[in-house]
């Protein structure tokens, strides 16, 4: 309880200070999202310090935790050092992307590079087998490294599918952070990100900032590694949990990837066919985002209510997801 009160109070104060600094001195950072692309929905250039806010909170927590809190990073070991360094480089890649709009191939190379470094330096982080409902154990043997690398790369890109409308990425952040907070017996590292996300959500709702590529790169990479780490070291998190939590962004990634290819477009160029784009066109911005958040949490909700095998839940989710996409497209065409 003492740690909870200390961490909560400290990071609420820290976030107030950071937000105040950004509002008064953002010209020192000078990174904006300009509404020049067709897929942009805002009409003026927007500060993009959401990811910077998260990164500063992480850095402060990391050094406090290493030094004396000992809540998650217990010591300066190979994992904590390599994790911090790789995360920092990924964050800087996001900053450069926000400033100069990096080529998708270059971003992909950076993600693969730092993911590979982290996995090679921490062999104990690599998942080498899975146990799924109705299936015997799946062993990856010599392909374990490649499997983990693909999972990280897919999630980083899938997470980016959720960005594009105010509060949507923040809503998913709450969803996965609360899941991890509960499943890790309320580890306080996730509390600091919940606090950060509250402050970001307020600013994002007020249309004062976006998450930015620095945020989506940094936090998706953070989550991908932390999900693997928690899966390996917390008995309360299993394969089913990971699949149900990530099924929505992965479904978005796969649908948009193949749809763009089918339409002879680059799968790496953004568009406005994301679930949250369609739902906000029909229901309006706030109700559309709430509707999208319902689908993000749908698989866990179905699992809790129905208590079915994993593959039944996955099937129900995908049927619901694609039927809803189909119906939303019909409604939008009629509105036009």
pLDDT digits (tens, 9 = 90+) for 189-205: 999 999 999 999 999 99
Question: What values do phi and psi take at 32, rounded to 5?
Answer: -130, 155
Give the alpha-carbon dihedral of 110, 112, 115, 118, to 10 degrees: -80
pLDDT for residue 88 = 97
What pTM was computed for the model?
Answer: 0.93
Cα 147 from Cα 240, distance rounded (Å): 17
Confidence of residue 40 (pLDDT cuts 50, 70, 90): low
Span 116-124, mean pLDDT?
A: 95
Confidence of residue 272 (pLDDT cuts 50, 70, 90): confident
97-101, 190-194, 220-224, 314-318: least confident range: 97-101
Local confidence band at 208 (pLDDT 50, 70, 90 cut-offs): very high
Residue-wise DSSP of 148-203: HHHHHHHHHHHHHTT-SSTTHHHHHHHHHHHHHHHHTTS-HHHHHHHHHHHHHHHH
Sorted by where each begins, the domain ranges of the chain are: 2-237
Q: Quickly state the pLDDT bin for 34 (edges 50, 70, 90).
A: confident
Q: Residue 143 pLDDT more than 60?
A: yes
**Average pLDDT estimate for 93-101:** 92
Span 76-84, average pLDDT: 93
- pLDDT surpassing 60 at residue 330: yes
- Alpha-carbon torsion (111, 112, 118, 124), positive or negative: positive
Mean pLDDT (the chain, rounded): 91
Q: Are 148 and 127 in contact (CB under 8 A)?
A: yes
Specify whether the CB–CB gap between 226 and 180 falls below 8 A. Answer: yes
CB of 154 within 8 A of CB of 250? yes
* Amino acid 216: pLDDT: 95
Region 55-61 average pLDDT = 97
């Amino acid at each position: 309880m003492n740690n909870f009160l200390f961490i909560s109070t400290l990071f609420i104060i820290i976030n107030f200070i950071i937000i105040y600094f950004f509002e008064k001195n953002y010209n020192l950072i000078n990174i904006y999202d300009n509404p020049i692309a067709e897929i942009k929905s805002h009409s003026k250039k927007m500060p993009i310090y959401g990811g910077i806010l998260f990164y500063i909170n992480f850095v402060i927590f990391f050094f406090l935790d290493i030094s004396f809190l000992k809540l998650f990073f217990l010591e300066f070991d190979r994992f904590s050092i390599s994790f911090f360094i790789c995360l920092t480089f990924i964050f800087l890649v996001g900053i450069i992307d926000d400033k100069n709009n990096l080529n998708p191939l270059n971003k992909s190379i950076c993600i693969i590079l730092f993911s590979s470094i982290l996995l090679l330096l921490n062999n104990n982080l690599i998942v080498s087998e899975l146990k799924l409902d109705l299936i015997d154990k799946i062993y990856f043997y010599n392909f374990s490294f490649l499997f983990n690398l693909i999972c990280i790369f897919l999630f980083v890109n899938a997470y980016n599918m959720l960005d594009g409308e105010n509060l949507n990425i923040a809503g998913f952040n709450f969803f996965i952070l609360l899941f991890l907070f509960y499943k890790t017996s309320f580890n306080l590292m996730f509390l600091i990100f919940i606090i950060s996300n509250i402050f970001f959500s307020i600013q994002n709702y007020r249309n004062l900032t976006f998450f930015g590529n620095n945020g989506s790169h940094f936090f998706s990479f953070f989550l991908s590694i932390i999900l693997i780490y928690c899966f390996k070291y917390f008995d309360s998190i299993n394969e089913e949990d990971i699949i149900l939590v990530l099924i929505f962004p992965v479904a978005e990634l796969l649908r948009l990837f193949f749809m763009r290819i089918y339409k002879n477009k680059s799968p790496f160029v953004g568009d406005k066919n994301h679930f949250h784009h369609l739902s906000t066109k029909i229901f309006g911005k706030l109700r559309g985002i709430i509707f999208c958040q319902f689908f993000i949490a749908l698989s866990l909700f179905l699992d809790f209510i129905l208590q079915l095998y994993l593959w039944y839940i996955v099937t129900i989710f995908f049927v619901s997801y694609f039927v809803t996409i189909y119906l939303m497209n019909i409604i939008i065409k009629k509105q036009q």
